Amino acid sequence: METKHQVHNLIILDESGSMESIKKTIIQGFNEIVQTVKGIEKVFPEQQHYISLVTFNGLGQKLLHFIDPVSKLEQIDHTRYNPDATTPLYDAIGFSISKLRKVTDNLTDYNVLVTILTDGEENSSMEYSGSDIKKIIESLKLTNWTFTYIGTDHDVEHFATSNSITNTMVFNKNEAGMKAMFLKERTSRHNYSQKIRDAKQTENNFYDEEDVVKGE
């Protein structure tokens, strides 16, 4: 039986109250990512892609998808994504990584792409600290994990680098800026799969061309 290379797409999505103004575009963007990954799997048939989606706010984390084959994935809608409350970002990252590691630690032929998307910095975590998350990320970067951080309305570069994340993208919080950001994100995913096929290093330069996406 043929064994395919597993690619786990872990998306950690801010669902705090400040995301309400871009709720519609976020939902559309995630659904477009799903369609993109489905297409990538067809272009790279030796890879089998899975999506895990965790949304988070001060009310807790929601596991909307967990290691779901992208070929069987359904779209999310406004009933499943409802921004509210604060931004416990460290807890969300720690929770998501810990859950997925229980699966990937038993694998050998795999890659993990972690995408964190938020419009604000950490402000209410109780289980994980910044130093905890930095240590976890630094450890996993030595294996087959790649981390990306997409943000707006805060010092994205500072937060990312302070947590050892080098792949960052800043977007403007309007419809044009969001669409440009998701377009860049989808293109980068295709390039990532090409790097896996070519056995190239995947951790750095995820967003190769530019790290600031602007909207008119």
Q: From first to last of the 216 residues of the chain, give the pLDDT tens digit.
A: 568 999 999 999 999 999 999 999 999 999 999 999 999 999 999 999 999 999 999 999 999 999 999 988 888 999 999 999 999 999 999 999 999 999 999 999 999 999 999 999 899 999 999 999 999 999 999 999 999 999 999 999 999 999 999 999 999 999 899 999 999 999 999 999 999 999 998 988 899 754 444 444
- Inside any domain, residue 3: no
| Within a domain: 60 | yes
* Domain assignment present for 48: yes
Q: Parallel, antiparallel, or unpaired for β 167-171 and 145-151?
A: parallel
Q: Which residues contact 212 (CB under 8 A, 6 or more apart)?
A: 169, 170
DSSP structural state of residue 133: H
Nearest to 60 by CA among 7, 120, 126: 126
Q: Report the C-alpha gap between 61 and 76 in whole angstroms.
A: 16
pLDDT at 79: 93
Number of domains in the chain: 1
* Residue 109 burial by Cβ neighbours in a 10 Å radius (0-12, 13-18, 19+): exposed
Domain range for 106: 14-127+151-206
Q: Does 43 map to a domain?
A: yes
Asked if residue 159 belongs to a domain, the reply is yes
pLDDT the model gives residue 208: 76
In a domain, 135, yes or no: no
Instruction: Please give the distance of CA 84 from its chain centroid, rounded to a whole number.
Output: 20
Q: Is the residue at 69 inside a domain?
A: yes
Residue 141 DSSP SS3: coil
Q: What global pTM score does this model have?
A: 0.94
What pLDDT, on the 0 to 100 scale, is given for residue 37? Answer: 96
Q: How far apart are the first and last CA of the chain?
A: 51
Integer Rg of the chain from CA: 16
Q: Residue 36 falls within a domain, yes or no? A: yes
Rounded Cα distance, 103 and 112, in Å? 11
Residue 2's pLDDT is 62
Under 8 Å between Cβ of 14 and 61: no
